[in-house]
Amino acid sequence: MPNTAPLPKPANAEYLHRSLGLVGVLTLSIGAMMGSGIFVLPSLAFKITGPGAVLAYIIAGLVVLPAVFSNAEMATAMPSAGGTYLYIDRAMGPMLGTIAGFGVWFSLTFKSAFALVGLGAYFSLFLETEARLVGLVVAALLISLNIIGVKQSVKVQTILVATVGLMLIGFIGFGTPNIGQGAFEPFLPMGGWSVLSAAAVVFVSYAGVTTIATIAEEVREPIRNIPRGMFASIVIMMLLYPSVTGIMIGVTPATELASTTTPIASAAAALGGQLGQRVMAITAVIALISMANAGLVASARYPFAMARNQLAPKFLKIIGKKSGAPTASTVTTGIVLALLIAFVPLLELAKLASAFQLLVFAFVNLALIAFRESHLDWYQPTYRSPLYPWIQIFGIFGSLLLLTQIGLIPMIGAGVFILAGIGWYRGFGKARVSRESAARETLRLRNQDRLITETRDAINGRGIDSVLVVLRRPTLAERGEALARLASHIMHSPGGKLHIMHLDSELQGTVPSEAQKLNTSTRGVELITEHYPGANERNAVHRYVSQNKIKLVLADLPRNIPATKSIIRDWHWLQEHLLSDSAFLRHRYPNAINSIAVMGTGGPYDPLKLLIASRIAKGEGASLRLIHVAQETASAQQLNAIEKYHSRLIEILGIPAESVVEPANDLLPAITRLSKNASLVILGAPSHRFHLVTDLADRIAAEVKCPTLLVHTPRWENMSFWQRMIERFIS
């Protein structure tokens, strides 16, 4: 079982230096948002919805705001590198964490590529050159700067952001009096829904606010500086975006604004001629360099954090000895950045980046809900989101609504990356991680409570009042006796019915002596014998169970040899199709039973396994041993949780029992060793349609050195799809 404890403090070789104060946090965050959102995207938004582009920025900001609250809370509880990825990983497990890590990494890298392509368009106003070539050259310079170190990168960033901020204040001050009359009429010429499509496209403008959480491990006084930096930067940008966009719409001819890739330069030309155009073009170049740099800083931390959590190759953990920066991750991100600049169209870059970000922000809000509802001891944020959970629910639905408006290709792209994240986790990460998410921990605990209730009801209730023992060749007389003896213990009495079904003419007329004793005793159990020699035996059993409302079928499962293959196929078919519970005695038959081992606790078969085990133990005077083999990397907290679950079960059973919880690297040898002295082993076996799990149960039964009872209940397969997924997720 995985671990719910917070991530341990990394070793010094993997630890990033806390070198950033509040100013550094603000300049990285604002710099990440100040670029394309102002200097490229307004023309795309205007083309989609007209003057309603101003409203699109406000809507996008409101949808982002819940994720800001959520990020701020989680960052104060986990101020480590990785930000959004880390929170989703810890809240909902490493698979969703992997998807989020890939999603945010590509989103921020797409955004940086988008900024550098836009930078090339502004640069071409001065020199006749290929825009993408300029973007590639600047990308190479930024990669080099970030390899030197984030502290040096932030110094450059501070100068860039301060310069751009002053220029934009001047642009707003000079442009406001010159807004043309009627420039905003009609406000939504493409209809009301078009503003949501525009909001979905410009949503990526606000993605930079997550930069703060991403670099949390490098922030001094993170508990104070992270929330302040997030709220200050989002408020500033929610005021700046609509203001600057409104001036562009107000001073630029509509046809020109809808077609240009340099909207602020066009607006400045309308206000101040060629000089104004050049001044704002230079400002745009500075802003887009700043944004690309901030995006590179943030995105490079995701592969680093994933590698540190064993979800990415180890080399991505390499940190420069002098710079303290994640150099390998920075270079890898830089290579992806260069490929995007060279080959992906501008608008598709914006849409893809927004699509990933919308998904991730929905996950962020869901992650906060998971943490809050899990009540984990270690989750102690110093800042708490207001209006919980309503603001998070609004953020989730708002993000998903905008995602539906972004277009088919970006949604397909996001879907492809989700599948890629699942594939990467299954193929690379799953074998390397052993962490339990907050949501999974909550579900597991709730599942245990439900299993405790069901086990108590089974033990204290009427129990199993009709058992069918099926006898057929090559079932020997001794094995028939053993099956009948087990059935006699399991049966509820008085008033129960024990059915003995013969499927072979050579056995006709014989009734195991244990059943005869049961019939002649004073327990009040009715004995019924039936004979069905001939073909189509499995259909006969299936029909008999349905007609007589049998609660449990007990049969012999012979050794898997060529002569018994058809019999085993019949039993597997019955296991899948019977409406009753079933138990198959594998390989050997028990003589005296003095110790029963119940293997693998915490799953949907526990109530039936423990009911059968307790009845047999009482009938034979045997003791019980509850055995759970955990993963080798399981923490003390996880092992204690299983021990507590066992203790609660033992209280219900009311017979001598012990708990054995042991971590092991190799499951089968551990189970064989722990069950060595048992007279009977009982374990759950899913139906044969779940081949991998069934094969494991068969392998365990073949490996242990004592009689084994494979128990199955159709209740699990009869659950709804979502219930079954939760059960499989937990157990």
DSSP codes, 481-515: HHHHHHHHHHS--SS-EEEEEE-SGGGTT---HHH
Q: Under a CB-based contact definition with an 8 Å cutoff, are residues 107 and 67 in contact?
A: no
Q: Under a CB-based contact definition with an 8 Å cutoff, are residues 251 and 175 in contact?
A: yes
- Higher pLDDT: 419 or 86? It is 419
Measured between alpha carbons, how far is residue 481 from residues 500, 515, 516 in Å?
11, 8, 10
Condensed to tens digits (0 to 9), the pLDDT of residues 655-670 reads 888 988 888 777 778 8
Q: Are 462 and 563 part of one and the same domain?
A: yes
CATH code for the domain in which residue 159 is found: 1.20.1740.10
Q: What integer pLDDT is reported at residue 392 of this predicted model?
A: 93
Q: What integer pLDDT is reported at residue 360 of this predicted model?
A: 83
When pLDDT is cut at 50, 70 and 90, the band that residue 12 belongs to is: very low
Q: Under a CB-based contact definition with an 8 Å cutoff, are residues 510 and 481 in contact?
A: no
What is the value of pTM for the model shown? 0.61
Residue 458, domain member (yes or no): yes
- Give the C-alpha separation, 297 to 292, whole Å: 9
Rounded to 5°, the CA angle 121-123-127 comes to 115
Residue 4, domain member (yes or no): no
Look at residues 404, 432, 460 and tell me which one is the last residue of a structural domain. 432
Q: Are 605 and 580 part of one and the same domain?
A: yes
- Segment 18-29 mean pLDDT: 74
- Give the C-alpha separation, 219 to 294, whole Å: 15
Q: What integer pLDDT is reported at residue 458 of this predicted model?
A: 84
Residue 725, domain member (yes or no): yes
Query: Could you identify the residue written with the tokens 């390989």?
Result: 587
Q: What integer pLDDT is reported at residue 2 of this predicted model?
A: 38
Region of poorest pLDDT, from 35-44, 150-159, 484-493, 542-551 = 150-159
Condensed to tens digits (0 to 9), the pLDDT of residues 597-620 reads 888 766 678 888 899 999 899 888
Q: Are 587 and 510 part of one and the same domain?
A: yes
- Give the C-alpha separation, 104 to 85, whole Å: 7
**10 φ, ψ to 5°?**
-65, 160
For residue 176, pLDDT over 80 is answered with yes
Measured between alpha carbons, how far is residue 610 from residues 432, 458, 649 in Å?
33, 9, 9
Look at residues 380, 407, 432 and tell me which one is the last residue of a structural domain. 432
For residue 447, pLDDT over 70 is answered with no
Share of the chain above pLDDT 90, in %: 7
For residue 231, pLDDT over 70 is answered with yes
- Segment 410-415 mean pLDDT: 79
Q: What integer pLDDT is reported at residue 391 of this predicted model?
A: 94
Residue 512, domain member (yes or no): yes
For residue 294, pLDDT over 80 is answered with no
For residue 694, pLDDT over 50 is answered with no
Q: Which helix (H) or strand (E) holds 572?
A: helix 565-577
Q: Are 468 and 427 part of one and the same domain?
A: no
Q: What integer pLDDT is reported at residue 437 of this predicted model?
A: 56
For residue 34, pLDDT over 60 is answered with yes
Question: If you average pLDDT over every residue of the chain, what do you get?
Answer: 77
Share of the chain above pLDDT 70, in %: 78
Q: What integer pLDDT is reported at residue 148 of this predicted model?
A: 73
First-residue to last-residue Cα distance in the chain: 9
Q: What value does the CA radius of gyration of the chain take, rounded to a whole number of Å?
A: 33
Q: Under a CB-based contact definition with an 8 Å cutoff, are residues 278 and 126 in contact?
A: yes
When pLDDT is cut at 50, 70 and 90, the band that residue 21 belongs to is: confident
When pLDDT is cut at 50, 70 and 90, the band that residue 247 belongs to is: very high
For residue 725, pLDDT over 50 is answered with no
When pLDDT is cut at 50, 70 and 90, the band that residue 435 belongs to is: low
The number of domains in the chain is 2
Measured between alpha carbons, how far is residue 190 from residues 48, 197, 261 in Å?
7, 11, 21
Nearest to 10 by CA among 372, 430, 309, 277: 309
- Segment 466-491 mean pLDDT: 78
Q: What integer pLDDT is reported at residue 643 of this predicted model?
A: 87
Q: Are 424 and 524 part of one and the same domain?
A: no
Q: What integer pLDDT is reported at residue 692 of this predicted model?
A: 34
Q: Are 476 and 407 part of one and the same domain?
A: no
CATH code for the domain in which residue 664 is found: 3.40.50.12370
Q: Are 684 and 547 part of one and the same domain?
A: yes
Region of poorest pLDDT, from 166-175, 301-310, 324-333, 342-351 = 342-351
Q: Are 428 and 457 part of one and the same domain?
A: no
Domain limits for position 173: 17-432
Q: What integer pLDDT is reported at residue 4 of this predicted model?
A: 42
Query: Could you identify the residue written with the tokens 């993408």?
Result: 132
- Give the C-alpha separation, 695 to 200, whole Å: 48
Q: Are 315 and 461 part of one and the same domain?
A: no
- Segment 628-653 mean pLDDT: 80
Region of poorest pLDDT, from 50-59, 165-174, 595-604 = 595-604
Region of poorest pLDDT, from 527-531, 546-550, 608-612 = 527-531
Q: Are 245 and 280 part of one and the same domain?
A: yes
Q: What integer pLDDT is reported at residue 396 of this predicted model?
A: 93
When pLDDT is cut at 50, 70 and 90, the band that residue 522 belongs to is: very low
For residue 708, pLDDT over 80 is answered with yes
The residues with which 585 forms a beta bridge, in sequence order, are 556, 709
Residue 5, domain member (yes or no): no
Q: What integer pLDDT is reported at residue 244 of this predicted model?
A: 92
- Give the C-alpha separation, 210 to 357, whole Å: 10
For residue 469, pLDDT over 70 is answered with yes
When pLDDT is cut at 50, 70 and 90, the band that residue 328 belongs to is: confident
Q: Are 587 and 614 part of one and the same domain?
A: yes
Measured between alpha carbons, how far is residue 12 from residues 15, 44, 150, 317 in Å?
5, 46, 17, 12
For the record, the structure tokens of 573 come out as 């078919």
Residue 394, domain member (yes or no): yes
Look at residues 388, 407, 432 and tell me which one is the last residue of a structural domain. 432
Q: Under a CB-based contact definition with an 8 Å cutoff, are residues 617 and 420 in contact?
A: no
Residue 10, domain member (yes or no): no
Region of poorest pLDDT, from 11-20, 100-109, 528-537, 701-710 = 11-20
When pLDDT is cut at 50, 70 and 90, the band that residue 439 belongs to is: low
Condensed to tens digits (0 to 9), the pLDDT of residues 94-153 reads 788 788 878 778 777 877 887 788 777 787 787 777 777 888 888 888 888 777 765 566
Residue 237, domain member (yes or no): yes
For residue 403, pLDDT over 60 is answered with yes
For residue 165, pLDDT over 80 is answered with yes
For residue 719, pLDDT over 50 is answered with no
Q: Under a CB-based contact definition with an 8 Å cutoff, are residues 29 and 229 in contact?
A: yes
Q: Are 114 and 60 part of one and the same domain?
A: yes
Q: What integer pLDDT is reported at residue 691 of this predicted model?
A: 37
